[in-house]
Structure 1
Amino acid sequence: MKQILLFLFSLTVSAQAEKGMQIKDTLAPKLENIKWISGNWKGEAFGGQTEENWSEPSGGSMMATFKLINKGEVSFYEIEIIREIENSLVLQLKHFDNDLKGWETKNETVDFPLIKITPTQVIFEGMSFEKVSDNEMNVYVDIKNDNGEVEIVKFNYKKSS
């Protein structure tokens, strides 16, 4: 019996230590803590080339443009922002065809509320950024496939000069 109690006690201490580390590694929801996302990024996804250009934080937000090129032609664009709202961050975006006709209605955005920030991750509900190095990051996006199932699509980006 003593061994079982000791085992349960060590599991509890271990779980509390892990929680403490998570709290310690979690950063405040401030743009300054995610400025490593800023820059000009290039990669490949959906069978084509991608470009994503993020501004430095200013005016309570960061903004980005995204472009997917397939077979030498633009497939679609996105305008994205991350802004500070009510002591948190939210990522919002709008999609556009190659002729800038919007996918969402005039007053509609696709919103991703913040879950948490660590020194190397920014995790929003449905989209996350992972810092691999100063010149490489991964972006993971939840996308519904034709069957209605959610797939996680990985975009690997390298920072361009």
Structure 2
Amino acid sequence: MNKIKIIGLILILTLLLTAATSESINVEEAPAYSWIQGSWVGDGFGGYSEELWSPPGLDGKVMGTYRHYNADSSLNFYEFFVLDEEGLYLKHFNPDMTGWEEKGDYLTFKMISFDDKTIELKGLKYEYLPPDSMNIYLKMKTKDGGVRTEVFHMKRK
């Protein structure tokens, strides 16, 4: 092969590789719940909360992390989660990164509905308050068999 054919082949391969790896979701194709992406801080569980949400990936899924600090600023726990049209899948971790759930287990919050301001899951609701606030409502079982709702007031960081 001569040099011109080799250079041409390299150029075509480079263009094909660039096109394949730079694919992204069109804004019109992004899930309605993509408003949640970004960095959020606020209260909850009597301490300080931080959440980070990625933009939707090529598969439309949004991944996130949560970190909770006690009132005395000591780290309490972490979470890792994935959100899609089916629901939210979540794992908890202690400050030393040991998991709360067994290795292959995770919590699931089944999707009820979502739109450009609300994500309603079974036991969990995210409510967007434009332009930079969000409330999170988490239903939790109490020791006496009842249910209480923990409310987190978050601001976009």
Tell me the TM-score normalised to structure 1 length.
0.75
3-state SS in 1 of match to 2:100: coil
Deviations 1:57-96 (A, max 9, x none): 013211111011111211011001113xxxx421000011
Higher Cα Rg, which structure: 2
Which range moved further: 118-127 or 93-102?
118-127
Match of 2:19 in 1: none
Quick check: 1:132–1:138 contact (8 Å CA) kept in 2? yes
* Partner Cα separation in structure 2 for residue 91 and residue 115 of structure 1: 11
Match of 2:86 in 1: 89
Aligned with 1:128 (options 111, 125, 129): 125
Unaligned runs of 5+ in 1: 1-29
Match of 2:49 in 1: 50
* Partner Cα separation in structure 1 for residue 134 and residue 156 of structure 2: 8
- Which residue identity is paired with 2:78? Y
* Partner Cα separation in structure 2 for residue 134 and residue 141 of structure 1: 22
- Which residue identity is paired with 2:74? E
* Partner Cα separation in structure 2 for residue 119 and residue 65 of structure 1: 21
3-state SS in 2 of match to 1:105: coil
* Partner Cα separation in structure 1 for residue 58 and residue 89 of structure 2: 16
Match of 2:58 in 1: 59
Report the Cα offset of residue 152 of structure 1. 1.2
Quick check: 1:138–1:154 contact (8 Å CA) kept in 2? yes
Quick check: 1:35–1:57 contact (8 Å CA) kept in 2? yes
Report the Cα offset of residue 100 of structure 1. 0.7
Match of 1:156 in 2: 153
- The answer to whether the aligner puts 1:137 opposite 2:138 as a matched pair is no
* Partner Cα separation in structure 1 for residue 56 and residue 47 of structure 2: 29
Tell me the TM-score normalised to structure 2 length.
0.76
Match of 1:35 in 2: 34
Match of 1:116 in 2: 113
Superposed CA RMSD in Å reads 1.4
Quick check: 1:50–1:69 contact (8 Å CA) kept in 2? yes
Number of aligned residue pairs: 127
- Which residue identity is paired with 1:113? K
* Partner Cα separation in structure 2 for residue 59 and residue 106 of structure 1: 26
